[in-house]
Amino acid sequence: MNPILIVVLVALGLGALLLVGGYLKAPPDTAYIITGLGKKRILIGKAGWRMPFFTRVDKLSLRVMQVDVKTSEAVPTNEFINVTVDGVANVKVSSDPELLKRASESLLNLRQPELVALVTQVLEGNMREIVGSVGLKEMVQDRQGVAKKITENVVPDMEKLGIDVVNFNIQNFKDAAGTIENMGIDNVEQIRKNAQIAKANAQRDISIATANAQQEANAVRVEAEKKIAEQDAELAVQQADMKVRSETKRAEADAAYSIQQENQRKTIEVTRANADIARKEKEAELAEKEIALKERQLDAEIRKKADALKYQMEKEAEAELIKQQREAEADKYRALQAAEAKKAEAEALRYMMEQEAAGIRAKGLAEAEAIEKKAEAQKKMGEASVLEMYLTALPEVVKNAAAPLSQTDRIVMYGDGNSTKLVKDVMNSTNQIMEGMKESTGVDLGALLAGLVGGKLASGAPAAEETKTQE
């Protein structure tokens, strides 16, 4: 990079740093005091610039401060009456350039409590000086004037410090001997005395004025009564004259009233007759209008009812037609549903019969196969096997033959041998079953039993005889 460019950039950076670091903007209630490089500048409520590192900036508040000023001990007046004074002052650092310059030399970097203590000492000294030069009565009666004297006396000392006195007021005076209170009592008594004197003079003037007023009132009353009597007499004469004229006028008025009343009666009768005629004409006209109105109302009501009846009949016919159409559609739908249900039922019945036939066919085939296999086994086993099978099944056959009797709650039999006959009937049923088996299978159970027993007896006889011979 070019060395000249580097130097230029560094210079610009330092210049910007100095410009930003040296910029100042003072608020209107604070004085910025810039010192250094052999000169001093003050900024109040405006912006400025200072040279960093070479100048110093100090701040001095221009706000108003309230200072309570009290005499630490009693101060004698010019009448040698010891009093204590309590006042309050509002002060601030002056904005005047000359006074601000003094303040920057004497008050800079002082904390506010220190500044208030300094101002309090100056104000108390001047207040003691003024209190010692005036009398107690002047102090009490002209408090504002005393405060003004104190302010005028303290301003030169405050200007030396660069401080403006905004205002000063005396709050209270006190004296240990009660002189101020006694002065008040004396004034009160003097005022009371003057008031009583004024009251007595006023009462005297009132009495004199009352007597004069009564005398004048009496004279006025006599004169008034005299005038009243004269006026009463004159009034009586005038009243008599007026009564005569009034009676005359009344008679004339009565006659005129009678004539006028008669004329009015005639006018009223004529008017009443005309009114009756007009009223009757109006009534007749009104009756005709009412008849026409009733005719129109009846015509409108009949027409309205006819239209309503026609509309109702049309709607009822329309509703009946719709009802019949819907019923026909419903009957058609129900017929279709019934046909479909019958068709489904027939299909289900056909399927069930097919399944049942298939089951029967399978069962028959199975039974035939079992019988065939059983016949082959019996053929191999011979008559003994057949006989054994029949004997095994015989109890079940007898049980089934007697089964209907077990379902009967009570059996009543007449004649001899009731139980014997019952057993005989059961055995007959068994014989009938065996006969049926013989006819269906071709096997004679009785013959088989006879042959079997006969064979066994024939084979057992020689053995018996041999046993007997040996004995």
Nearest to 127 by CA among 181, 161, 171, 166: 171
Query: CA-to-CA distance for 232 and 279, rounded, in angstroms?
Result: 62
Sequence-ordered list of residues with C-beta below 8 angstroms from that of 102, at least 6 positions apart, any chain: 159, 160, 161, 162
The per-residue pLDDT for range 340-364, each reduced to its tens digit, is 888 888 787 878 877 877 777 787 7
Q: What integer pLDDT is reported at residue 465 of this predicted model?
A: 44
**What is the structure's pLDDT at 445?**
64
Phi and psi (nearest 5°) for 44? -135, 115
In the three-class reduction of DSSP (H, G, I as helix; E, B as strand; rest coil), residue 60 is classed as strand
Q: What is the pLDDT of residue 90?
A: 92
**Mean pLDDT score, 45-67:** 83
Domain ranges of the chain: 1-62, 382-470
Residue labelled with tokens 């005889």: 465
- pLDDT, tens only, 24-41: 888 888 888 888 877 888
CA geometry: angle at 232 spanning 227 and 233, to 5°?
A: 105
Report DSSP state, residue 166.
Answer: E
Predicted confidence band at 470 (pLDDT cuts at 50, 70, 90)?
Answer: very low
The Cα–Cα gap between 294 and 307 comes to 19
Distances (CA, A) of 45 to 24, 31, 96, 249, 440: 10, 8, 14, 103, 146
pLDDT tens sequence across 73-85: 888 887 778 888 8
What distance in Å separates the CA atoms of residue 191 and residue 467, rounded to the nearest whole number?
190
**pLDDT value for 379:** 59
Q: How far apart are CA 211 and CA 205, in angstroms?
A: 10
From CA 380, how far away is CA 421, in angstroms rounded?
42
CA distances 430 to 340, 403, 441, 446, Å, are 53, 12, 16, 13
**Tens-digit pLDDT profile for residues 48-57:** 877 777 788 8
**What proportion of the chain, given as a percentage, has pLDDT over 90?**
1
Tens-place pLDDT, residues 410-422: 655 555 555 566 6
Query: pLDDT at position 378, please?
Result: 59
Check: CB of residue 448 under 8 Å from CB of residue 386.
yes
Per-residue pLDDT of 404-447, as tens digits, reads: 656 666 655 555 555 566 666 666 766 776 676 666 666 666 66
pLDDT, tens digit (0-9, with 9 covering 90-100), for 196-249: 777 777 778 887 888 888 888 888 888 888 888 888 888 888 888 888 888 888
Query: How deeply is 110 buried, as exposed, middle or buried, from its count of CB atoms within 10 A (0-12, 13-18, 19+)?
Result: middle
Which residues make Cβ contacts (< 8 Å) with residue 110, sequence separation at least 6? 118
Residue of 172, 169, 150, 180 lying closest to 84 (CA atoms): 172
Cα Rg of the chain, angstroms: 79
Phi-psi region of 442 (alpha: psi -120 to 50; beta: other; left: phi over 0): left
* Cβ–Cβ under 8 Å, residues 130 and 150: yes
- Cα 71–Cα 75–Cα 76 angle in degrees, nearest 5: 165
pTM for the predicted model, two decimal places: 0.36
